[in-house]
Amino acid sequence: LGERFSPHDQVRPSMLSYQHAYHAGNFADVHKHLWLYATIEHLLRKNSAITFIDAHAGRGSYPLAAEETARLKEYQTGVKRLWDSRTETGKAGAQNPLLTTWLEAIDSVQPRPQQLTHYPGSPWWLGHRLRDQDRLTLFELHPGEHGHLARQSLAGEGQQANIRRVHGDGLAGLRSLLPVKTPRLCVLVDPSFERKSEYQEVAETMIHALGKVRHAVLLLWYPLLPAGRHQELLDRLRASGVRKLWRSEVILHPPGGASHGMYGSGMLVANPPWGVSDSMQATIADWLPLLGDAARHEQRWWVEE
C-alpha cells in the first residue's frame, strides 16, 4: 500500500487545499482523460514494456453522489452530457468510435451497469489496461487523497503487484525514477496549480524528464485562466529546445467578461504517438456541440519535430 517518499520534498502536505472531488468528471477531466485514453490505446499496440507514471494521481474513482462532487455538480456539463448522448441517435457518444469505447470503459466501473454513479480518475485510466510487462507508479501528496487511492482497486488482480502508490511529491518523485528500465515511458503531469511557482517547477521538471528520456510520452494538463500563467510554462518549454510538443486546447468562451474562472482546458503532449492528434481532432469535434455555441478546439504543434 502507501509509502512515504520525500527526498527533495519542498511542498508540505499542509499547503494543499485542492481536492479534485469538487471537479471530478467536468469538461477538463473529459478533455484530459480522452487524451490519456487515446494515447494509452496507441501505446498498447506494441508489445514492448511501458513504465507509466502519474505525478499527481488524485483518487482512482469518484462517487458522483459524494458531498464534495454533488456540491458543484461539474460532471453534469462534462461526462454526463456525453454519457446521455450515447443513446441519442446521431449524437456524439453514439457515433464516434473513440467516444464509444471511452464511455464503455466508464460503464465498466459502474456498480450498476448503464447507471453513471462513479467517475474514474487518472490512476484507473492508467491502471486498468496494465499488462504483465508494464509498471505504474502513482504519486499523491495529500494524505487524505492518498488514503483514498491506497484503498481503491485500479487493475485486475494479476496486475496489482505492478502498481506502486507513493505518498509524496510527484515532481521530485518523477525525477528520482529517471531513466526507467522499460523501453517506453508515459507520464501524466496534472498539478493543482495552487502555487504560482508550480508553473515554473513543472516546466523545469518536464525539461529534465525529456532530457533524460528523449522519447518519453509526457502529457501535461494546464488550466486556461484569465491571468494566463500557462503561457509562461509553454514559453519556457519552447525556449528550452525540447522538440515535438503538441498543444490541444478546449475553450468554452473567450477569457474575461464576468467570470474570473477557468475558461478552458489545455493539454501539452510531448512525443504524441502517431495518429493520436488526428483521432482527437475528430473526437473533440464530435464532443464540442455539447459544450455550447461558443466552445471551440484548437490544436497544433507548439514545438515541431
Q: Which residues are catalytic?
A: 190
Q: In angstroms, what is the C-alpha Rg of the chain? A: 18
Least spacing, CB of residue 132 vs ligand SAM, in Å: 25
User: Measuring CA to CA, how many Å separate 207 from each of 46, 70, 183, 194, 283?
Assistant: 26, 38, 19, 21, 29
Q: Does 200 bind ligand SAM (CB under 6 A)?
A: no
Query: In the structure grid, which three cell numbers stand for residue 274, read together?
Result: 502517431
Residue 168 is inside which H or E element, if any?
strand 163-168
User: What binding mask, one character per residue, do residues 150-189 give for ligand SAM by CB under 6 A, x or -?
Assistant: -------------------xxx------------------
Q: Does 110 bind ligand SAM (CB under 6 A)?
A: no
For ligand SAM, the binding residue among 16, 105, 150, 262 (CB under 6 A) is: 16
User: What binding mask, one character per residue, do residues 69-108 give for ligand SAM by CB under 6 A, x or -?
Assistant: ----------------------------------------
Spatial neighbors of 265 by CB under 8 A, at least 6 apart, are 27, 28, 31, 32, 221, 223, 224, 249, 250
Q: Does 20 bind ligand SAM (CB under 6 A)?
A: yes
If the CB atoms of residues 94 and 109 are measured against ligand SAM, the closer one turns out to be: 109
If the CB atoms of residues 38 and 303 are measured against ligand SAM, the closer one turns out to be: 38
Query: In the structure grid, which three cell numbers stand for residue 57, read together?
Result: 494521481
Spatial neighbors of 161 by CB under 8 A, at least 6 apart, are none
Interface positions, 45-74, toward ligand SAM (CB under 6 A) = 56-58
DSSP conformational letter for 55? S
Using CB under 6 A, list all residues that contact ligand SAM.
11, 16, 18, 20, 32, 56-58, 121-122, 139-142, 145, 169-171, 190-192
